[in-house]
Amino acid sequence: MKRIGQWFLLLISSVLLAQQQRPKLVVGIVVDQMKPEYLNRFYNDFSESGFKRLLKEGYNFQNTHYNYLPTYTAPGHASIYTGTTPSIHGIMGNEWFSRRLGKDRYCTDDADVQIIGNAAKGDDPMSPKNLLSTTITDELRLSTNFKGKVIGMSLKDRGAILPAGHFANWGFWYSKTGSFISSTFYGPTLPSWVNEFNEEKHYLPYLSKNWELLKPMATYDESLPDDNPYEGKLYKADKPVFPYDLKSMYEKNDAGVIRATPFGNNLLEEFAKRAIEKEALGKDEITDFLTVSFSSTDYVGHQLGTRAIEIQDTYLRLDETIADFLNYLDKTVGKGNYMLFLTADHGGAENAQFLKDNKYKVTNVEPKEIAKGLKKFSTDTFGDDLVLNYSNFNIYFDSEKIKTKGLDLTKVKQAFKAYLMTQEQVKRVYSEEEIIADNGNDFHLHCIARGYDPSEDGDLVIIDKPGYIEYGPTGTSHGTTYAYDTHVPLIFFGWNIKAGETHDRKVITEIAPTIAQKINIAFPNGSEAQVLTEILNDK
């Protein structure tokens, strides 16, 4: 009898140990265009239950960076979840000119599938087909013999599709019709619960009222005045000032208006909660994975910049959204049963005119003006336009035209490099040969090499000077190798995560392999398998 009792206790211990190997649910949150600075600048205005709770109860990697060029949304999401960079996973930008195809391509386009749901004109068929490596979500599906569910969602197609990976049950993204849509890559028709959610028109209450400040105006003393020259205008509003008449904007446009308001994040959270409920995520002992990408921060940031009251209000409201979502997870999945991480797909630059007005001699340069300058130089020097495309800091030459004219490509590159180095914004220009020969000693060249594919990218790649921005005069953008674009928040929270922080430099490609080690599954196949030991040692 004593031996039976010992055997029974050993069996129970083994079962409990097995259960502890993985959480019931992993939640990946990406906040589009989030600078870590916002957590500090707006800290005193946050509630105790949102960002502050993550910071106090989670593990905060204070010095996390992207390690490649270009720092855009699609490669950002792909790199977080694959644990590698564009040179391996193949997502070279949001869209890019493909040297191999000789035309523009979009990161998630797929002509072999069809859109499903109430789509709008311009909603193209999408899938993860262009993603060349597996994701941590793919490896979870494989490790559970496809029993663990994976669902990805975002207002942006790329923010939903790339994190969810190749084997996801579903990826959902928002259409300007006001509905969440998907493609036949995932299934022939939308799940009934998605159709029900869409029919309920959750976007309407948000677009039937004004966007007012969440808190008294005095709260927003960390931002510039409400009406300042560095802000663009949302949907042709008369001025970039509160309150915003969202009903009027909606009536003059479409339900896509919600994307450029903080309420796009609220809508996505509602949809995430419905998915958890209807798909029974985190309800059994087989780990599920939910990826949620909040995009409204990016829409607001691009249009209005990093110092706008609108961006501060968006983050104060996102704080409330995060608090509500954490509370929901506590109640439905259970405290200690889910592991969550929060990061961003890139940062964002200061508005160049704002910096210039404050005595920092930088400026904005619009990409179309750079392209015009390249064309003029080429025509003046070689009698013809030898440039096929300029985009994403890449210059593509027309090799056939160069060959036909009897020109030496190497000399053409040298001439263009010399011209570009006369341009105010240009710091360095690297050729394909220099990029391929990268040995890691030049930081910026190494970043280019990690984001470079010779079959897709250009003949020359430009690094601009710090503070210069290839964008219009208002709002902001991103894409460079400088800290304001590469530095992002990274916080792990929940299951087997102890509170703490580190200021050691980390890179974004360490997230996916760390999760793999944390929950005992295989590494994504393109990963270099560098991990964040701080949270692995805290099991």
* Bond from prior residue into 70 cis (ω within 30 degrees of 0): yes
Given phi > 0 = left and psi -120 to 50 = alpha, else beta, which region is 126? beta
CA-CA-CA-CA torsion for 523, 524, 529, 535, nearest 10 degrees? -60
Q: How many CB atoms lie within 10 A of CB 334?
A: 15
Can you tell me the distance from the alpha carbon of 42 to that of 351, in angstroms, rounded to the nearest whole number?
19
- DSSP letter for 200, please: T
Residues 6+ apart with CB under 8 A from 123: 115, 175, 181
SS3 470: coil
Burial class (CB in 10 A: 0-12, 13-18, 19+), 115: middle
Q: Which of 71, 73, 306, 474 is catalytic?
A: 73
The secondary structure element, H or E, covering residue 369 is helix 367-382
Q: Is 82 in the active site?
A: no
Residues 6+ apart with CB under 8 A from 375: 385, 387
Half-sphere exposure of 471 (CA within 13 A, CB side): 26
Half-sphere exposure of 339 (CA within 13 A, CB side): 24
Can you tell me the distance from the alpha carbon of 265 to that of 295, in angstroms, rounded to the nearest whole number?
7
The secondary structure element, H or E, covering residue 327 is helix 309-329
- DSSP letter for 523, please: P
Residues in the chain: 539
Residues 6+ apart with CB under 8 A from 276: 25, 282, 290, 328, 329, 332, 333
Q: List the strands of the sheet with 487-488, edge to edge.
A: 487-488, 64-65, 506-507
The secondary structure element, H or E, covering residue 205 is helix 203-207
Tokens, residue 241: 């000032």
Q: How far is CA 186 from CA 168, 221, 475, in A?
A: 7, 46, 36
Burial class (CB in 10 A: 0-12, 13-18, 19+), 311: buried
Q: Write a three-state SS string for 484-517.
A: HHHEECEEEEECCCCCEEECCCEEHHHHHHHHHH
Q: What is the largest CA-CA distance in the chain?
A: 96
Q: List the strands of the sheet with 490-494, edge to edge.
A: 115-116, 180-183, 170-174, 150-154, 288-294, 25-31, 338-343, 490-494, 59-61, 500-502
- As annotated, the active-site residues are 73
